[in-house]
């Protein structure tokens, strides 16, 4: 067992927890681990990071980052003051889940972990939550439409020849709606898949926005995905490159399958299903080789 000799904080925990950095619970909690007041505060802070300046952008970790100051003396007051393609979709999906969860009745089956079942918004705050989240989604859709409407190429990637293409592969945006101009690990191909999934989920919750706003945008991402699902990408941690990362593959497959179910046009239905099947077929050999290669 080589890992005993490698020094890292994770390994200190390994001894206590068994096989990972996470300390597992013996069984699910009976009740939420936070008070209602703490939960409300958490959501208040969360919602302060969406629809930045009313422009639909999502900001991650505004403000100083003490860990960066400690480790590297980085004093930037807003080290993460950007709109991140991946983070924006995941954060807004979390908000949509909150609306969905609050709408369900107690006796309906829920797919979330049992420990979270107590998390419900009270009936009196639900209409406000719904309308706030709807506003956020409408603003976000406008932000995405502006990304697609750009005509001036930022030119961060040699292989990308048009501003329109940058809307799909750029992971990091400033709040003027332009791609971040510094060096970064590009392209990142999970963005369109996550964004399409978010837009389709939002369309289920706010069906009156489907035809005019949400589906046309989701369709752009799905159509891009059909053509580019084998494109080489940076990984989730923005360190290495491959055309077959598990995360990218899973979210791309999910988006294509959901797109197949969501579309009503039979031609689109077929196109998304074909792409999902094509992507799925690539799985076994490459994926197994990688996993076996790393574990031996
Ligand atoms: C959206 O368009 C479809 C197909 O034209 C139509 O059947 C549906 O009623 C429309 N939905 C809304 C909410 O307008």
Most informative mutation of 204, 210, 266 for ligand 1 (most atoms within 8 A of CB): 210
Res 8: pLDDT: 43
**For ligand 1, atom 1: residue with the closest CA:** 211
- For 127-173, the pLDDT digits (tens) are 889 999 999 999 999 999 999 999 999 999 999 999 999 999 999 99
Mean pLDDT (the chain, rounded): 84
Strand-pairing partners, residue 179, are 173
Domain that holds residue 182: 2-26+35-295
- For 166-204, the pLDDT digits (tens) are 999 999 999 999 999 999 999 999 999 999 999 999 999
Binning pLDDT at 50, 70 and 90, where does residue 31 land? confident
Domain CATH code at residue 121: 1.50.10.10
Give the CA count within 13 Å in the CB-facing half-sphere of 81: 10
Tally of structural domains, the chain: 1
Q: Which percentage of the chain shows pLDDT scores above 90?
A: 64
Most confident by average pLDDT, 56-70, 111-125, 186-200: 186-200
Tokens 């950007």: give the residue.
Answer: 82
Residue 115 pLDDT > 60: no
Res 285: pLDDT: 54
Q: Which percentage of the chain shows pLDDT scores above 70?
A: 81
Res 66: pLDDT: 75
Binning pLDDT at 50, 70 and 90, where does residue 81 land? confident
Res 230: pLDDT: 94
Q: Which two tokens stand for residue 197?
A: 């999934």
Residue 123 pLDDT > 80: no
Kindly state if the Cβ of 211 falls inside 6 Å of ligand 1: yes
For the chain, what is the total number of helices (H) and then of strands (E)?
11, 4
Q: Say how far apart CA 96 and CA 137 lie, in whole Å.
A: 9
Binning pLDDT at 50, 70 and 90, where does residue 14 land? very low
Most informative mutation of 211, 216, 263 for ligand 1 (most atoms within 8 A of CB): 211
Taking the CA of residue 264 as reference, the ligand 1 atom at the shortest distance is: 4
Kindly state if the Cβ of 157 falls inside 6 Å of ligand 1: no
Buried b (16+ CB within 10 A) or exposed e, 42-56: eeeeebebbbbeeeb
Kindly state if the Cβ of 60 falls inside 6 Å of ligand 1: no
Kindly state if the Cβ of 204 falls inside 6 Å of ligand 1: no
Taking the CA of residue 207 as reference, the ligand 1 atom at the shortest distance is: 13
**For ligand 1, atom 6: residue with the closest CA:** 211
Residue 32 pLDDT > 60: yes
Chain centroid offset of residue 280 CA: 21
**For ligand 1, atom 2: residue with the closest CA:** 211
Kindly state if the Cβ of 208 falls inside 6 Å of ligand 1: yes
Smallest CA-to-CA distance from 96 within 42, 151, 137 is with 137
Distance 211 CA to ligand 1 centre (A): 6
């Amino acid at each position: 067992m080589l890992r005993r000799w490698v020094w890292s904080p994770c390994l200190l925990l390994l001894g206590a927890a068994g096989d990972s950095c996470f300390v597992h619970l013996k069984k699910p909690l009976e009740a939420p681990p936070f008070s209602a007041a703490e939960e409300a505060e958490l959501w208040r802070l969360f919602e302060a990071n969406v629809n930045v300046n009313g422009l639909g952008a999502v900001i991650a970790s505004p403000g100083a980052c003490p860990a960066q100051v400690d480790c590297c003396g980085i004093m930037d007051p807003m080290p993460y003051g950007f709109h991140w393609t991946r983070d924006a979709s995941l954060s807004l999906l979390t908000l949509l889940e909150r609306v969905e969860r609050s709408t369900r009745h107690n006796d309906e089956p829920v797919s979330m972990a049992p420990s979270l079942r107590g998390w419900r918004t009270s009936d009196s705050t639900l209409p406000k939550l719904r309308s706030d989240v709807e506003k956020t989604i409408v603003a976000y859709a406008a932000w995405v439409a502006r990304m697609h409407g750009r005509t001036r190429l930022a030119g961060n990637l040699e292989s990308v020849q048009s501003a329109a293409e940058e809307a799909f592969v750029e992971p990091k945006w400033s709040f003027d709606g332009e791609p971040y101009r510094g060096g970064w690990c590009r392209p990142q191909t999970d963005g369109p898949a996550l964004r399409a999934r978010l837009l389709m989920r939002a369309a289920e919750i706010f069906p009156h926005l489907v035809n005019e706003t949400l589906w046309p945008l989701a369709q752009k991402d799905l159509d891009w995905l059909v053509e580019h699902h084998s494109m080489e990408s940076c990984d989730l941690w923005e360190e290495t490159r491959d055309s077959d990362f598990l995360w990218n593959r899973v979210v791309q497959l999910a988006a294509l399958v959901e797109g197949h179910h969501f579309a009503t046009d039979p031609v689109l239905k077929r196109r998304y299903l074909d792409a999902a099947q094509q992507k799925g077929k690539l799985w076994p050999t490459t994926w197994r080789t990688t996993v076996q290669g790393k574990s031996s």
